[in-house]
Chains A and B, each alone.
Chain A
Amino acid sequence: MTTMNRRDALRLLGLSTFGVAALAACAPDATGGAATGDAAAKTFGFTSWSLNEAAQKAAVQAIVDAYAATNKVKIATASFPYNEYLNQVVLKLRGNQLTGAVQVDVAWLGALAAMGKLRDLGAQASAGGYTDVALSSGKFDGRQLGLPWTTGSIGLIANTELLTKAGVDGMPTTIDEFEAALGKVAKLGGGVVPYAAATKAAQLKDIFPWMQTFGSPLLSGDQVTIGDEPSVAAVEWYKKLYDAKLIAPDVDRFDARALFSQGKAAFYDDAIIARGVVASQSPDKALVQKMAPLSRPVLKAGDTPQALLWGHVIAVVEGEGADAAAEFARFATSDTATVADFFQKVQLPPTTTAGLADPKVAGDSFTTEWTEKITKTATANPFWRYAADAQIESAVAEQVQAVLVGNSSAKDALAKAAEAVEGLQK
């Protein structure tokens, strides 16, 4: 290398930039056109995060196998872990790599609906005998984009044995009692985390019900109320627990389940599947009997306990094998024997009137207790109706995390969060 001719380099760079920019202006649009493929095909895919979770995997696979065998269809299954799921499903869906039935968290329906690739399952919905509440969880913009697979809630679960050991009598009903209980549990030592609350960004959305508990509506009309006094108070309270080591850093749903299963957490947030998960993970086979759902403590006695309505649906991608997939979706979510059996295996309550009335379900005391204490007052996350819900949740989560680690005050962080959320309300 003797001398470097910079003019040459610039000229070349300029030239190629021009040429390619011209090409780039007509950039490929990967959203593709109309769905392709034979809707009547007998082969379709089924994508599910439950197939990635130890506690549910076998039960879901059994439904798939049974349906494939009796209906002479071929079902190709695929799975992604919950925290990567939306990302991967969007990527594959946009690239037309995903066909057939797809398990979808009700929170994600907005984002997937925006892609315009899901089939309206109105016909299957009316034939399935679903409860109205359940059906509405699969609706978006008036279209039935998903058949409800389970409808329930995310709430608090306690390890009653640890509470007894710590000298906590009775379930705490107010925030003050809750804090006192956590304090007592903390004195047990031995690495016990009193409340394995979410502190990693992936599930920090769990803080929404606490904000509501402190009195923030989150969203009023189209007005974002994150950043109002109650929500700031909720985050400050969370931060107080964090600093007092009553909640632990670097915990997401999966870490919380592991801690709880090891008998190292007194409380944590989860859906009703918690029981199945703990049963499959815990070395203490009796732990399941020591688990109890509790209503989320309230600010002052007499308030309505807050809980997050939650569930998942099965949606169908328009195109290859869509007809058969829609039938499969209806079968998996509404065949009474199937859903009752599924409930027995994984503790996910069904969504049909007949399914709920089945003795296996109706006779289960944990489920009735859960419904009574948590689902009864559960409300949907108001941000779900926005296609950008996932970004809204992560924008808030990131700011709350900044408060927890001491980078920002609750007031400033939530003001920033609100600003970010306002930009995402589309």
Chain B
Amino acid sequence: MRAGRLTNGQFAWLLMLPALALFLAIIAYPLISSVVTGFFEQSLVRPGRAFTGLANFADVLGGDFWPVLRNTLVFTAGATIVPFLIGYALALALNAGIRGSGLMRGLFLFPWVIPGVVVSFLWLWIFNANYGVLNGILLRLGILDAPVSWLGEPATAMIAVIVTKSWASFPWIMVMLLAGLQTMPKELHEAASVDGAGAIRRFISVTLPHMKGIASIVVLLEFIWNFQHFDTIYVLTGGGPAGATETFAVAVYDTAFKGFDLGHATALGGLWMLLLLVLVAFYLRHETKERS
């Protein structure tokens, strides 16, 4: 190995070479090439393409962009906050010293390891308007007096996809937060209770600050993943009814591969990317401030 003759910097670049090559070939290049496609009129079923400048972007901004943005934000917020709260509550509960919490942590991982498409199938069946078990239970309990078409009405369809996605992701959030709780020094809590702080006070003044780091990582990752989540929505509602659950991922996919309109699909995707860059910039700025 001739690595010994290299400077540390050169050695580091050598180490990065394979990953960097992959990164450029399958992430950077495709991304930029796709964004460039947004300036062309290009169809999946016809050869060739024509430069149209900003026309695609104008079309998209005058059409689907805003409702899709709203749906994406609602979905992302819901599918991040709901499982976070559930996961947090469960982590606290399992950390309260009840019996069998280790076993239960294992059991609760179930929903997370079931393949995503299977999760969607399962909830598709649960939410089924005519034979679904959810309607069955709610009718029997007298909460409903007529079956609800959960996936057929815009308001309930969005709730349904959020519930489904939350179900699949709360377990790993719980695992992460539980790990965080377990590294919390016991003395902190004991000192606080000696000072006469109640459970809620202790949670606010001891637990929350301690968990800030891991909680923000979990929320950030969930946010990133949900922002481009595709499976649940595609299988459960296909973006319907009447576009009520159409997020960026579904809209770009449908426009490109079902509508064969690559130009508009990539224009929509490009705007989505732009939005993300703004978010990233904010995040980096925040991070810079925080660290320095």
User: Which A residues contact B (CB, under 8 angstroms)?
Assistant: 1-4, 6, 9, 16-17, 20-21, 23-25, 27, 29, 31, 86-87, 90-91, 94, 111-112, 114-116, 191, 193, 199-202, 248-250, 255, 259, 264, 387-388, 390-391, 394, 398, 401-402, 404-405, 407-408
Select one of B35, B130, B242, B258 contacting A407, CB under 8 A: B242
> Are A250 and B151 in touch, CB under 8 angstroms?
yes
> Are B32 and A248 in touch, CB under 8 angstroms?
no
C-alpha gap A398/B149 in the complex (Å) = 18
> Are A402 and B291 in touch, CB under 8 angstroms?
no
Contact flags (1/0) for B41-54 with A, using CB distance below 8 Å? 00111111100000
Contact flags (1/0) for B138-151 with A, using CB distance below 8 Å? 00000000010101
> Are A29 and B291 in touch, CB under 8 angstroms?
no
Contacting residues, chain A, for B240 (C-beta < 8 A): 200-201, 398, 401
Residues of chain B at interface, number, CB under 8 A = 39
State the Cβ distance, B288 to closest chain A Cβ, in Å.
Answer: 4
B33 at the interface (CB under 8 A from A): yes
B217 at the interface (CB under 8 A from A): no
> Are A31 and B46 in touch, CB under 8 angstroms?
yes
Contacting residues, chain B, for A24 (C-beta < 8 A): 29, 32-33, 35-37
C-alpha gap A193/B260 in the complex (Å) = 36
Interface of A: prevailing SS: helix
> Are B242 and A4 in touch, CB under 8 angstroms?
no
Those of B204-260 within 8 Å (CB) of chain A: 238, 240-244, 257-260
> Are A250 and B45 in touch, CB under 8 angstroms?
no
Which A residue sits closest to B284, measured CB to CB? A4
> Are B28 and A248 in touch, CB under 8 angstroms?
no
Contacting residues, chain B, for A249 (C-beta < 8 A): 129, 149, 152-153, 241
C-alpha gap A315/B214 in the complex (Å) = 57
C-alpha gap A390/B254 in the complex (Å) = 12
C-alpha gap A387/B43 in the complex (Å) = 11
User: Which B residues contact A (CB, under 8 angstroms)?
Assistant: 24, 28-29, 32-33, 35-37, 43-49, 129-130, 147, 149, 151-154, 238, 240-244, 257-261, 284, 287-288, 291-292
> Are B130 and A94 in touch, CB under 8 angstroms?
no
> Are B45 and A27 in touch, CB under 8 angstroms?
no
C-alpha gap A390/B258 in the complex (Å) = 8
Contacting residues, chain B, for A264 (C-beta < 8 A): 130
> Are A4 and B45 in touch, CB under 8 angstroms?
no
Select one of A17, A90, A193, A390 contacting B32, CB under 8 A: A17
State the Cβ distance, A49 to closest chain B Cβ, in Å.
Answer: 16
> Are B29 and A114 in touch, CB under 8 angstroms?
no
Which A residue sits closest to B253, measured CB to CB? A87
State the Cβ distance, B63 to closest chain A Cβ, in Å.
Answer: 9
> Are A199 and B46 in touch, CB under 8 angstroms?
no
23 A-B contact pairs sorted by A residue (CB < 8 Å): A1-B287, A6-B284, A20-B29, A23-B32, A23-B33, A29-B47, A29-B48, A86-B258, A90-B44, A90-B257, A90-B260, A91-B257, A191-B130, A202-B238, A248-B149, A249-B152, A255-B130, A398-B240, A401-B241, A401-B242, A402-B242, A405-B242, A407-B244
> Are B292 and A3 in touch, CB under 8 angstroms?
yes
> Are B260 and A259 in touch, CB under 8 angstroms?
no
> Are A201 and B291 in touch, CB under 8 angstroms?
no
Contacting residues, chain B, for A259 (C-beta < 8 A): 130
> Are A391 and B259 in touch, CB under 8 angstroms?
yes
> Are A115 and B46 in touch, CB under 8 angstroms?
yes
> Are B243 and A387 in touch, CB under 8 angstroms?
no
Contacting residues, chain B, for A116 (C-beta < 8 A): 47
Select one of A3, A9, A16, A405 contacting B241, CB under 8 A: A405
Chain B CB within 10 Å — which of A1, A2, A24, A398 has the most?
A24
State the Cβ distance, A422 to closest chain B Cβ, in Å.
Answer: 13
Which B residue sits closest to A419, measured CB to CB? B63
State the Cβ distance, A131 to closest chain B Cβ, in Å.
Answer: 30
C-alpha gap A25/B51 in the complex (Å) = 11
Select one of B45, B129, B149, B243 contacting A114, CB under 8 A: B45
Contacting residues, chain B, for A200 (C-beta < 8 A): 152, 238, 240-241
Contacting residues, chain A, for B242 (C-beta < 8 A): 398, 401-402, 404-405, 407-408
C-alpha gap A387/B152 in the complex (Å) = 30
> Are A27 and B36 in touch, CB under 8 angstroms?
yes
C-alpha gap A388/B43 in the complex (Å) = 10
State the Cβ distance, A2 to closest chain B Cβ, in Å.
Answer: 7
Contacting residues, chain B, for A193 (C-beta < 8 A): 130
C-alpha gap A249/B129 in the complex (Å) = 8
State the Cβ distance, B147 to closest chain A Cβ, in Å.
Answer: 8
Contacting residues, chain A, for B259 (C-beta < 8 A): 388, 390-391, 394
Chain B CB within 10 Å — which of A2, A23, A250 has the most?
A250
C-alpha gap A115/B259 in the complex (Å) = 14
> Are B154 and A250 in touch, CB under 8 angstroms?
no
C-alpha gap A23/B28 in the complex (Å) = 11
C-alpha gap A86/B49 in the complex (Å) = 22
C-alpha gap A57/B207 in the complex (Å) = 60
Which B residue sits closest to A24, measured CB to CB? B33
Contacting residues, chain B, for A17 (C-beta < 8 A): 32
Which A residue sits closest to B59, measured CB to CB? A423
Chain A CB within 10 Å — which of B46, B49, B241, B287 has the most?
B241
| Besides A90-B257, A94-B45, A191-B130, 9 other A-B contacts (C-beta < 8 A) | A3-B288, A20-B33, A23-B32, A90-B45, A94-B44, A111-B45, A114-B43, A398-B240, A398-B243
Contact A248:B130 (CB < 8 A) given known A4-B287, A94-B44, A402-B242:
yes
C-alpha gap A70/B287 in the complex (Å) = 72
State the Cβ distance, A248 to closest chain B Cβ, in Å.
Answer: 7
C-alpha gap A388/B150 in the complex (Å) = 31
Which B residue sits closest to A249, measured CB to CB? B152
> Are B36 and A21 in touch, CB under 8 angstroms?
yes
State the Cβ distance, B51 to closest chain A Cβ, in Å.
Answer: 10
> Are A2 and B292 in touch, CB under 8 angstroms?
yes
Select one of B33, B47, B149 contacting A31, CB under 8 A: B47
